[in-house]
Amino acid sequence: MRSINLGPFKVSAISLGCMNLSHAYGKPPSAQQGERVLLAALDAGVTLFDTAALYGFGANETLVGRVLKAHRSRFTLASKGGMGGVAGDDGVVRRVIDGRPEAIRRNCEDSLRRLQTDVIDLYYLHRWDKKVPVEESVGALARLVEQGKVRTIGLSEVSAATIRKAHAVHPVTAVQTEYSLWTRNPEIAVLDACEELGATFVAFSPVARGFLCDALHDVTTLDAKDIRRAMPRFEPAHYARNLALLPGYKALAQEAGCTPAQLALAWLLHKRPFILPIPGTTSVDHLHEDLAAADVRLAPDLLQRLEAHINQDTVSGHRYSAQARTEVDTEDYPDQAG
């Protein structure tokens, strides 16, 4: 697979988001299946693995550390802090955003231990804690670099203005945000900011949380703990309208000679040379399907028709609930701001 620059690293142009192996979409696969996917990705040439303290409240980092420790020299390791799980008085672990420097230091130490490594190559602020100036949180990340615990730093789900504030404190190697045909918010300002500052843009949920794989037709079958149940686009009324986009989308994939998932990934690779998709999967077969998208070539006319078919104006529903939107700093299109 061809590679792209990620700060001082060269990584596979399609890499692996590890979240699905422990978190978010209902009951995760077994540890044995997670191990199979991780090792298959490594064998297939994936050289960036992306995890976070939040995923499975540490379980994902533990899995990645256990499985990939022996191969540490073969890949670039990314993780995230500033958001994780905290047990309440009732014993229930809940997600907490905490960007205080002392919290970030503690998060990093915990991640290093779970990942069984001396250094994290790319360490993100998972969410900007709006109670803490971003300069303070990034200052804590910079000190981790000085201490040799982290090689480079990144930000997740932030605006162009916040990226520039952070970059003034310490160079930002990567910005990670949801980006796909049906979530185009980075096109407002963040992609331009990344290009200006020389940061790689890492696109998570590049296949629209399964929608662009043509893999989910009945949202009522989603697991009770699947995070998509709280996302407006997956509410039955919105999703019914979104499903109407799939026949035309699949026809474009057929014209391009690829699968629907490959079309979504190939579109991202055609957008700008510094965009790095990190699809996640629990299936080795789907992993190989995703990675093959690096070889798909799309004609300019097909790209234009594809973007006209699925975009912020044709998709029904916001990507996040009203509560979740308060936790991110990304720009919105005017009709999505409410």
Catalytic amino acids? 55
Q: Which two tokens stand for residue 336?
A: 């999505």
**Contact status, residue 191 vs residue 272, Cβ threshold 8 Å:** yes
Q: Which residues of 168-202 are buried (b: 16+ CB within 10 A; e: fewer)?
A: ebbebbbbbbbbbbbbbbbbeebbebbeebebbbb
**Contact status, residue 280 vs residue 16, Cβ threshold 8 Å:** yes
Q: Cα(94)–Cα(92) distance, rounded to whole angstroms? A: 6
Q: What is the distance of C-alpha 259 from the center of its chain?
A: 21
**Contact status, residue 117 vs residue 78, Cβ threshold 8 Å:** no
Cα-trace Rg, the chain: 19
Q: What is the distance of C-alpha 202 from the center of its chain?
A: 7
